[in-house]
Amino acid sequence: MDNILSPMKILLPIDGSEYSKRAAQVALRIAKLHSGQILLLHVIAPSGQERKKWMVEGGEKLLQVYRESMVNEGLDEASITTLIENGDPADQIIDTAEIKGVNRIIMGTHGKTGIKKLAGSVTEKVLRNSKVLVLGVPPNYEI
Ligand code: ATP
Ligand code: MN
């Protein structure tokens, strides 16, 4: 059961965009301040063809880059885990949040497509369906 006062277990879904990078900076600050844990998630969406090797390698690389930069910025290595999943990004974010028992999802309001829309479709779907508290980091947020 989510408790707003329980220790922070943050799910940080990343897509490699500038917006999810900002969300990562916010998550890092919060995790450091509250001795929280961060679960980094990258989802590979079905592309019509078979899952491409470069997509998996790219996703793994992305997760490692984020993990390393968080450790370099002072987050305890034991507080970070990484996960790569396949499927619909929003569904995977919601399922992972439940399975891993996180109590916060921190994500960009936007992603790779950018600020053409009010919010990205992944964020919109997560907000609509998540039972876990979601912190959407807006494009103009200055950390
Ligand atoms: P759209 O995808 O609807 O064209 P967009 O790319 O601008 O719009 P979203 O995809 O909704 O916006 O991205 C919003 C946030 O969702 C990102 O900042 C990131 O936190 C998360 N996200 C999006 N795609 C993925 C993914 N494949 N894996 C993990 N997180 C993702
Ligand atoms: Mn997107």
Specify if 111 maps to a domain: yes
Is residue 123 within 8 Å of residue 23, measured between CB atoms? no
> Which of ligand 1's atoms lies nearest the C-alpha of 137?
18
Q: Which domain holds residue 82?
A: 9-87+96-137
Q: Determine contact, residues 56/62, Cβ cutoff 8 Å.
A: no
Give how many domains the chain has, as a whole number: 1
pTM score over 0.75: yes
* Mean pLDDT along residues 16-32: 97
Q: How far is CA 54 from the centre of its chain?
A: 20
How close are the terminal C-alpha atoms of the chain, in Å? 30
For residue 1, the model assigns a pLDDT of: 54
Dist. CA 90 → ligand 1 center (Å):
8
| Nearest ligand (C-alpha, residue 13) | 1
Residue to substitute in 15, 21, 22 for testing ligand 1 pocket (most ligand atoms within 8 angstroms of CB): 15
Tell whether 24 is covered by a domain.
yes
> At 15, phi and psi to the nearest 5?
-120, 5
- Phi first, then psi, for residue 4 (nearest 5°) are -60, -20
Question: Residue 4 domain-assigned?
Answer: no
Q: What is the pLDDT of residue 88?
A: 97
DSSP 78: G
| CA proximity to 80, closest of 134, 143, 45, 32 | 32
Say if 3 falls within a structural domain: no
Q: Which atom of ligand 1 is nearest the CA belonging to 43? A: 28
Residue 52's pLDDT is 75
Residue 79: which CATH number? Answer: 3.40.50.620
Atom in ligand 1 nearest the alpha carbon of residue 41: 29
Q: What is the mean pLDDT of residues 94-121?
A: 96
pLDDT band per the 50, 70, 90 thresholds, residue 7:
confident
2 belongs to a structural domain? no
| Mean confidence (pLDDT) of the chain | 94
Check pLDDT > 80 for residue 2: no
Pocket of ligand 1 (CB under 6 A): 13-15, 17, 19-20, 23, 41-43, 45, 89, 107-108, 110-114, 120-123
Residue 49, pLDDT > 70, answer no
**How far apart are the C-alpha atoms of 63 and 52, rounded to whole Å?**
17
Q: What is the pLDDT of residue 46?
A: 86
Residue 143 lies inside a defined structural domain of this protein: no
Residue 1 lies in a domain: no
Dihedral sign of CA atoms 57, 63, 67, 73 in order: positive
- Pairing type for strands 80-86 and 134-137 reads unpaired
Mean pLDDT of 33-50: 90
Residue 142 lies in a domain: no
